[in-house]
């Protein structure tokens, strides 16, 4: 054991991969919305706001795949599907909230930095991914 190969750090790759879920446009918002009560598809769609049906489906699938969310189907008419955070999902919610707090606390700081930067360069917002 202990493959001393200097190969790629397995952990880093995985971490990055998992982080990318947090980084995508909607996952975090969905998780947060699911934080209190379980919700139904269109309920979630309303609450998140601005998300397309397609993206909500995709996001939910991804979350479900990672074991962060469970899907419960009630065979009623009309169909009712409820999404709920798993324990794992809840633990992520906590961590994500920390990040959210950081973002809120430093929002002004960052916005100010951006404004100054943009002003100094003359360019409009043309920076990286954000």
Partner DNA sequence: CCGCATCCATTTTGATACTG
Partner DNA sequence: CAGTATCAAAATGGATGCGG
Q: In the complex, which residues of this chain contact its own copies (CB under 8 A)?
A: 8, 11-12, 14-25, 27-29, 49, 58-59, 61-67, 88, 91-92, 95-96, 98-100, 102-104, 106-107, 109-114, 117-118, 127-130
Which residues have C-beta within 8 Å of that of residue 102, sequence separation ≥ 6? none
Q: Which residues bind DNA (CB under 7 A)?
A: 20, 24-26, 40-43, 50-55, 57-58, 60-61, 71, 73, 78-81, 128-130
Decide which of its own copies, DNA, none touches 40; Cβ closer than 5 to 8 Å per partner kind. Answer: DNA
Strand partners, 80: 74
For DNA, the closer of residues 60 and 93 by Cβ is: 60
For CA atoms 50, 73, 85, 55, the dihedral sign is negative
| Tokens describing residue 10 | 């397995």
Decide which of its own copies, DNA, none touches 53; Cβ closer than 5 to 8 Å per partner kind. Answer: DNA
Helix (H, G, I), strand (E, B) or coil at 10: helix
Helix (H, G, I), strand (E, B) or coil at 40: strand
């Amino acid at each position: 054991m202990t493959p001393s190969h200097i190969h790629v750090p397995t952990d880093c790759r995985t971490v990055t991969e998992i982080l990318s879920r947090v980084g995508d446009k909607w996952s975090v918002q969905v998780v947060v919305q699911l934080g209190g009560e379980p919700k139904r598809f269109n309920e979630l769609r309303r609450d998140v706001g601005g998300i397309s049906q397609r993206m909500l489906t995709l996001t939910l699938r991804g979350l479900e795949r990672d074991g962060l969310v469970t899907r419960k189907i009630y065979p009623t008419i009309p169909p009712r599907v409820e999404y709920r955070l798993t324990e794992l999902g809840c633990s992520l919610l906590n961590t994500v909230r920390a990040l959210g707090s950081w973002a809120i606390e430093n929002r002004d700081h960052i916005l100010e930095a951006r404004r100054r930067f943009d002003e100094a360069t003359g360019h409009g917002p043309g920076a990286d991914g954000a």
